[in-house]
Amino acid sequence: MTKLLVVATGNPGKLREMQAYLADLAWELTLKPEELEVEETGDTFAANACLKASQVALATGNWAIADDSGLQVDALGGAPGVYSARYGKTDSERIARVLRELDNQTNRQAQFACAVAIARPDGAIALQSEGVCRGEILQSPRGNGGFGYDPIFYVPKLQLTFAEMTPDLKRSISHRGKAIEALLPQLAILD
């Protein structure tokens, strides 16, 4: 029997990404209602993911899945962190700000981090996980794929930025991929 899982986002791209991760499970994914907005007031990715999953589950009466993720740059004390999406008005402004703040910094180490939470229809958090992908920040953008900070996030072992990777390759090594992968065994048996 197929169960409904509301993805706590209004972004159809994120819905497609979640569907790809969860393709082998008996869950039907749908976007949250457009008018339902959840303010991310948590000070960690995990707190924001739990907040979004819980509020969307309560509002819809269905299971809900939410994630929160962002870029953490070592030399910037972990910034932009939970403020990654609000670090500028556009992706190019956000990238320019990170590059400007790093300026001539030799430590370019960084990571993408992601927290995922799944809430029961009553809003109680049933599952949580986190994933990290380490890399470094380039001096300038490379590649045309992906979104956000992908063009400046370089994975040395693959010698590619996230923006240069195929969607399947990025999914297999990304912070979100690792966080969701950790949930799959438990998600398959939830009821």
> Tokens 């000070």, residue?
43
Task: Determine the average pLDDT of the residues in 7-31.
Answer: 86
Greater confidence (12 vs 53) lies with: 53
pLDDT tens digits for 21-76?
Answer: 888 888 899 999 989 989 889 999 999 999 999 999 999 999 999 999 999 999 99
What SS3 state is found at 45? helix
What SS3 state is found at 36? coil
Task: Determine the average pLDDT of the residues in 163-188.
Answer: 91
Note the pTM of the prediction, 2 decimals: 0.91
Q: What count of other Cβ atoms lies within 10 Å of the Cβ of residue 142?
A: 16
What SS3 state is found at 51? helix
pLDDT band at 100 (very low <50, low <70, confident <90, very high): very high
pLDDT band at 78 (very low <50, low <70, confident <90, very high): very high
pLDDT for the residue 25: 85
What SS3 state is found at 41? coil
Pairing of strands 160-161, 153-155: antiparallel
| pLDDT over 90 (residue 3) | no
Rounded Cα distance, 160 and 76, in Å: 22
pLDDT for the residue 191: 57
Which two three-digit tokens encode residue 45? 């990715």
Domain boundaries, the chain: 3-187
Greater confidence (141 vs 19) lies with: 141
Rounded Cα distance, 137 and 185, in Å: 33
Percent of the chain with pLDDT over 90: 75
The overall average pLDDT reported for the chain is 93
pLDDT band at 14 (very low <50, low <70, confident <90, very high): confident
Rounded Cα distance, 144 and 55, in Å: 35
Which two three-digit tokens encode residue 44? 């960690």
What SS3 state is found at 74? helix
CATH number of 3-187: 3.90.950.10
pLDDT for the residue 58: 97
Pairing of strands 109-119, 3-7: unpaired
Question: Which residues are designated catalytic?
Answer: 68
- Scored b (16 or more CB within 10 A) or e, 90-123 reads ebeebbeebeeebeeeeebebbbbbbbbbbbeeb
Q: What count of other Cβ atoms lies within 10 Å of the Cβ of residue 189?
A: 7
Helix crossing, 12-21 with 175-187: angle to 10°? Answer: 60
